[in-house]
Chains A and B, each alone.
Chain A
């Protein structure tokens, strides 16, 4: 190996990872009118806005990439995407998890062609046989032809790792921004609500094997905003599914006025009715309802009474930008952007690790029956989001305002809960804050502004439920 004296050494490529820099797009930030609770439709169809999203949001935000249970042993891996970037998530020999861009630094081909695998020793590019360890480092090239070139420096070459990777209670997140704040700072007080799903019992959670992947011709923000706070659509969109499973319409519980609320932190949001088992009931298996009632009683000690009521309640949540879940129904999903007009939806079923096997099996079937492409609820969502996207190709149509103004003036400062709290789950508040967060990402080129804007959690002196 040449130490720098050979003829070619001076022209050796610089193979250091390159992470993109954010900038500012004030004209796009202004597409969200915070004063008037309006969103400009160009956010759903404009190519330039979409390219800015990849740079400002998907190359910077902490994105969900895996559940730890998907890669239990060294060499276990899954392939996913962060924005449109193909990524391999691999358990390392020291049991940590790392993630790399799925692209060979030689000619760029994918080094991993499969969805998942176990106990891999590495990844070999099919093109020229460049071989990488599970640590991402280049181990060798086919026939050692490169190795015989005296200017070649193998140790400088590897798969590009994500800039930062971290876990929160079993969920693995990564970011391409070396300057991103810690994951727990990015999630902020929203961890209080994540724990409803992730920490309601000893032993934590796991994903059931496999994943359902499907394509929807819609902008990624429409499903994300739907899960962040739109229980309203359930009454109309899902009347048929509710009728089929429950024999009646959606019911938010007798104590709606007193209990239901929306909470938002940094654009992450949850709406819940605290009705205990409303979501779980829609899976159609009474054994699951009994399980959640018992769980909820046990969980009072871990989570306090309020969050214990939320475990199976009618509720939904999104972690900004594109990771959503339904407490009680246990579907977890990512809306991967594929251009402004298309997403790939990947969805999983999450269960408590120590739940009995027959309960896990019923969750698997219940999620399939409700929130999968053939499920009686998800069935009716896709077309709404597709046409909410597609009609905006009309030149005049896309100049018309959109109304996000349900629940103006419903902010509730009396409840000692983390985040921006609004009364009632039937409210556009979380969706407004989701787009405000979107606007902050467009506006700011630095995390200091990003973490201290309007969407940051209001300062509260006493969080009683903690």
Chain B
């Protein structure tokens, strides 16, 4: 039995879809999160959506031969994000500064989430959620950055809702076709 909270663990048992009510609740959670991120309400995101034990990871994606045992990504190598709560707080502290020039004037954000699937795990408090995203950032007149990817989330049941405990983000780009990543995915 793998520990789904371990950042290196894959969702190897996706045989138990949750009931429709849970699935709808998770979709509501992920859609609300996207809306909050579009608003750049990062403090609210941290407080209302993120678990204290968060592990938020986005590896760099390498182009490798199929036969290469190292694979496209590997935990412990270079990453875009490999954050716990303290690192997320530092990133958000920068966003909160008026001199965060990459965000001033404001970036126009759009997080689109779809292909949501939700599964039970061995821990009744945790559910596994797969989703895909399109993230569009547009700035100034014509500066536009688009990032596509997949996410593997573990959510903890929290009151009537959820908190994000673990997120693995796999973008489809090898070379990030953008100068920066001034958002969360």
Chain B residue at smallest Cβ distance from A346 = B175
Contact across chains for A213 and B60 when beta carbons are under 8 A apart: yes
Chain A CB within 8 A of B25 CB: no
Q: Which of B98-106, B118-126, B148-156 contacts A (4 or more CB under 8 A)?
A: B98-106
Q: What is the number of contacts between chain A and chain B, taking CB atoms within 8 Å?
A: 138
Quick one: which of A212, A240, A369 contacts B87, CB cutoff 8 A? Answer: A369
Chain B positions 73-124 with a Cβ under 8 Å from a chain A Cβ: 73-74, 76-82, 87, 90-91, 93-94, 96-102
Q: Which of B81, B97, B180, B182: most chain A Cβ within 10 A?
A: B180
Chain A positions 358-392 with a Cβ under 8 Å from a chain B Cβ: 361, 364-365, 368-369, 372-374, 376, 378-380, 382-384, 386
Contact across chains for B175 and A373 when beta carbons are under 8 A apart: no
Contact across chains for A374 and B91 when beta carbons are under 8 A apart: yes
Chain B CB within 8 A of A454 CB: no
Chain B residue at smallest Cβ distance from A241 = B94
* Whole-angstrom CA separation of A379 from B98 in the bound complex: 14
Q: Which of B5-13, B27-35, B63-71, B158-166 contacts A (4 or more CB under 8 A)?
A: B63-71
List, in ascending order, chain A residues with CB within 8 A of B80's CB: 212, 368, 372-374
* Whole-angstrom CA separation of A241 from B100 in the bound complex: 8
* Whole-angstrom CA separation of A46 from B178 in the bound complex: 23
Chain A CB within 8 A of B174 CB: yes
* Whole-angstrom CA separation of A376 from B96 in the bound complex: 12
Chain A residue at smallest Cβ distance from B86 = A284
Chain B CB within 8 A of A33 CB: no
Chain A residue at smallest Cβ distance from B176 = A214
Chain B residue at smallest Cβ distance from A384 = B101
List, in ascending order, chain B residues with CB within 8 A of A458's CB: none
With both chains docked as a complex, state the minimum distance between the C-beta of B141 and any C-beta of chain A, in angstroms.
11
List, in ascending order, chain B residues with CB within 8 A of A212's CB: 60, 78, 80, 176
* Whole-angstrom CA separation of A326 from B147 in the bound complex: 28
List, in ascending order, chain B residues with CB within 8 A of A284's CB: 90
* Whole-angstrom CA separation of A427 from B178 in the bound complex: 30
Quick one: which of A211, A215, A237 contacts B101, CB cutoff 8 A? Answer: A237
* Whole-angstrom CA separation of A239 from B80 in the bound complex: 22
List, in ascending order, chain A residues with CB within 8 A of B174's CB: 115, 213
Contact across chains for A217 and B90 when beta carbons are under 8 A apart: no
* Whole-angstrom CA separation of A115 from B60 in the bound complex: 12
Chain B CB within 8 A of A306 CB: no
Chain B interface mostly: loop
* Whole-angstrom CA separation of A214 from B180 in the bound complex: 8
Chain B CB within 8 A of A348 CB: yes
Quick one: which of A115, A243, A349 contacts B94, CB cutoff 8 A? Answer: A243
Chain A CB within 8 A of B14 CB: no
List, in ascending order, chain A residues with CB within 8 A of B91's CB: 244, 369, 374, 376
Chain B CB within 8 A of A118 CB: yes
Chain A CB within 8 A of B181 CB: yes
Contact across chains for A215 and B177 when beta carbons are under 8 A apart: yes
Contact across chains for A210 and B101 when beta carbons are under 8 A apart: no
Chain B residue at smallest Cβ distance from A216 = B179
Contact across chains for B176 and A383 when beta carbons are under 8 A apart: no
List, in ascending order, chain B residues with CB within 8 A of A361's CB: 76
List, in ascending order, chain B residues with CB within 8 A of A239's CB: 97, 99
Chain A positions 199-213 with a Cβ under 8 Å from a chain B Cβ: 208-213
30 A-B residue pairings within 8 Å (CB atoms): A115-B63, A209-B74, A209-B76, A210-B62, A210-B79, A214-B175, A214-B176, A214-B177, A214-B179, A215-B179, A240-B94, A240-B100, A243-B99, A244-B90, A364-B76, A364-B78, A368-B78, A368-B81, A369-B90, A372-B80, A373-B178, A373-B179, A374-B91, A379-B102, A379-B181, A380-B101, A383-B101, A383-B143, A383-B179, A383-B180
Binding site for B on A (CB under 8 A): 113-118, 208-217, 236-237, 239-241, 243-245, 284, 344, 348-349, 361, 364-365, 368-369, 372-374, 376, 378-380, 382-384, 386
Binding site for A on B (CB under 8 A): 59-60, 62-65, 68, 70, 73-74, 76-82, 87, 90-91, 93-94, 96-102, 139, 143, 174-182
What 3 A-B pairs have minimum CB-CB distances, sorted nearest first?
A382-B179, A210-B77, A210-B78
